[in-house]
A and B are shown apart, each in its own frame.
Chain A
């Protein structure tokens, strides 16, 4: 194997193994930042040795052993120091060093789940959670994360360093929380994954409409989580939601890079494999619970669209019902706005307008371009064209996405004559 080939192979092995290695080390050293450094050391050792000696038969085990030996050395050293200097403040007895032999054999999956929960810990700001998750579990480089979120690389690097420090300072235990804390912590994990997905799905800034790599990464995280926490309905709900939304990636961009709205998409371009996976994940979620959470409900709504062979066949009454349920479970002005759209489709634009008009005073929607955009749509259908045009123009002024702005201005212009 030539040197560049070996390099590419090591990189591939690393991509497959790194999160598991970091997770295993984090349980030993109780510090995700240190765990990542130790894992990186193991990679460097492989990069030094393998090109000369050849890649071992079981490279995953080699890397894990190399990394754990480093961690053990460090722990032994720390233990020695602690014994010599009891003024360190706390007695570091055996309890601080869990049975290391057992630790080595412990279920890797559990560690990975702990790592995900730690990276998404509420002690961190949302953007720090996102960056840390992409870095530790997704294996993205600082540069890749910076590119994806259109922020300077040093900003991301800072964010990650600070996040690791914050976790260490807060002494966040490396664990999956139990009891009541679990639901809250899990929702933080799901939020981070869905945020990553959405950042890829509809860019909030700039010209770039779709960033498939981020969507793929979020999907991968969602799929991994679905296997690590198979009893949590919302985990499957999120997986289902992302699979179904991702099935439309190819259809939602027109030939000139312009966005194509859901009802105008060519459904032949929807990815049927992803739809099938999404519907299966939704079934899995619904089998686990009668009480559908926000992600399961959103997935159920997405599934209604996925099942309709043409836009005209969409079961809007059912979608409006699901939005009612969603508004009950997780009320928000944005849900209310979507409910208005569904109600308008099921029962006519006047019914929708009534709901939307109730939202115009809502302070959280003040800068939200979809409110005037939706309202404009209802007004247009009701024949109130001048008002509709004004709403589209208002929406265009509010959106940060250049492509969307053009679409809205086009709609306004079409009403001008």
Chain B
């Protein structure tokens, strides 16, 4: 299963302040570890919201709001996409992440929808039935 690991923004990241050389080095080492383990699929840092925009939907209307946005803790400063066996493995990997913040902060792990999550359908039922058949054969 895949997880998106979301790094929240901070005052520093929103101010466009680049991480210290030390932090960049630690992060590069951590990323290398993830890649070598075949876990990291993708990842990137994001520029401050002053470079971004929002599109607000209201019925058929769309209005564009330019950054920056103020509610810092709700903003995103970067992400990883990782592939792991389960949530415990995702957590264990990301606990090893160097602290990306100079202040208290959080990173958030969110699981991707996968094939098996697409609700009730003949295909999903079929897959389940096959799994049960295999289990039954084994016993």
Contact = CB atoms under 8 A, between A and B. Distances in A.
A72 to B, nearest CB: 26
Interface residues of A, number: 37
B25 to A, nearest CB: 19
A219 B42 CA distance: 15
Contact of A12 (B36, B37, B42, B86): B86
Nearest to A228: B36
A181 interface: no
Contacts of B137: 150
A216 B36 CA distance: 15
A82 interface: no
A120 to B, nearest CB: 17
A137 B86 CA distance: 17
Contact of B115 (A220, A250, A255, A273): A250
Contacts of A152: 138
A206 B131 CA distance: 11
A207 B114 CA distance: 21
B126 interface: yes
A315 interface: no
A216 B83 contact: yes
A192 to B, nearest CB: 15
Given A216-B83, A249-B115, A8 B123 contact: no
Contact of A253 (B93, B123, B133): B123
Interface in A205-233: 206-208, 212, 216, 219-224, 227-228
A147 B134 contact: yes
B85 interface: yes
Contacts of B93: 16
Interface string B101-139: 000000000000011000001110011001001110110
A222 B122 CA distance: 33
B71 interface: no
Nearest to B134: A147
Contact of A224 (B37, B41, B81, B135): B37
Given A12-B91, A15-B89, A16-B89, A227 B134 contact: no
A208 to B, nearest CB: 5
A255 B130 CA distance: 15
A256 B137 CA distance: 23
Interface of B: 35-39, 41-42, 81, 83, 85-86, 88-89, 91-93, 114-115, 121-123, 126-127, 130, 133-135, 137-138
18 contacts: A8-B86, A9-B91, A15-B85, A15-B89, A16-B37, A16-B89, A16-B93, A150-B137, A208-B134, A212-B115, A220-B39, A224-B37, A227-B38, A228-B36, A249-B115, A250-B115, A257-B123, A257-B126
Interface of A: 8-9, 11-13, 15-16, 109, 143, 146-147, 150, 152-153, 206-208, 212, 216, 219-224, 227-228, 249-250, 253-257, 273-274, 277
